[in-house]
Amino acid sequence: TKNEIFFFSFSNKAVTTQILLDDTILFVIFDVSVAPCKLTSGPDTRLLFWNTCEPTLAPQPLWKKTGGGEDGSARGQSEQKNIPSSKNLGALAPYPMESLENGGKITLVGSGPGDPDLLTLSAFKLLQDPEAFFICDRLVSSEIIDLIEGEVRIARKVPGCAEMAQEEIYGWAHDALSHGKHVVRLKIGDPFVFGRGGEEVITFRRFGVEPNIIPGVSAAFSAPLLANIPVTHRGVANQVVMCTGYGREGSSPDLIQYHEEQTIVFLMAVGRLRELCERLIRLAGYPEDTPVGIVENAGCPSQRTVVGDMTNIADLAAIHNIQPPSTIVVGKVVNVLLDSHQYEGTEGLVK
């Protein structure tokens, strides 16, 4: 009988639990970028997800707007509700070929860290093709998306939903290939640096297509430098290790032991920053005062850099609401080119 809307943060566990277990609340809508995909609720509470990965809970999934109508519909979107397994999609040719008989082909492209000026010439030319069918990662920058002339689909790869979104990508690609389309699979950074590029090549070959590969500038090296952080520096760091924040099935990857002249660059790890720092101190022997830098939206107008150490970087990231895509740099190189006055009195945010 009441018409009330509550806004609450997942950081307040008591309030969250109270709302989820309240049987008088009809709908609870979650942003899955901050919420897990499966939650327990009261008997009469229906869980809905913004950008959901649970089709059974959201009969009308929301698609990211990419030049379509004001209702959020994407250019040329379809209402695909049931996502088939890629293993059940038939081969379109007896063996992998660069172009199918109907003209269908696929190009796997790296879009770099986010700045359109850091696209390769080959990638930029492809974006101008109005006849191509583009399947883009969710974290490809809007500045790059705006350059695309053809039809666009945005993969709904949010935390906890990556596998379902990946199957959706394969379904889109298979359907477009079967209709003779040139599929451009646009991925952030370099497709083969923790980007599942190799897995996608294997699947596309199973479809009967040998993809063309266009490398991209990896955020592992470019994002730190765009924030004035070199990953190596004479007398400070003579080795670089690249890691992902997530192992198989959401597990935490093994950590390399501390070395004073070593830089570690973490990709796709900002959601596990606090846990990551705790594990680096406890399991890998990292001193608590080891410098840590985070570069958010590298190369874009919204780029921000936050600097701290193992003990406070997670809190600083929370204060400034740092979001993906972000690159994390751990090691003494963080402070080589940055002056402390650039972030004094700003709670770690570099001016």
Residues with catalytic function:
137, 157
Give the containing element (helix H, strand E) for 163: helix 162-178
Question: What is the layout of strands, in order, in the sheet containing 304-309?
Answer: 239-244, 262-267, 326-330, 291-296, 304-309
298, 113 contact by CB (below 8 A): yes
Interatomic CA distance for residues 109 and 111, integer angstroms: 6
For 2, other C-beta atoms within 10 Å of its C-beta total 5
Q: What is the DSSP string of 103-125?
A: S-EEEEEE-BSS-GGGS-HHHHH
Cα→Cα distances 83→37, 50, 55, 87, 169, Å: 17, 18, 9, 12, 9
262, 237 contact by CB (below 8 A): yes
41, 60 contact by CB (below 8 A): no
Write the secondary structure of 302-328 as one string of H (helix), E (strand) and C (coil): CCEEEEEECCCHHHHHHHCCCCCCEEE
Interatomic CA distance for residues 306 and 328, integer angstroms: 10
Interatomic CA distance for residues 330 and 294, integer angstroms: 9
The angle at the Cα of 42, spanning 38 to 48, to the nearest 5 degrees, equals 45
What is the amino acid identity at position 10? F
73, 152 contact by CB (below 8 A): no
Interatomic CA distance for residues 263 and 242, integer angstroms: 9
Interatomic CA distance for residues 6 and 28, integer angstroms: 9
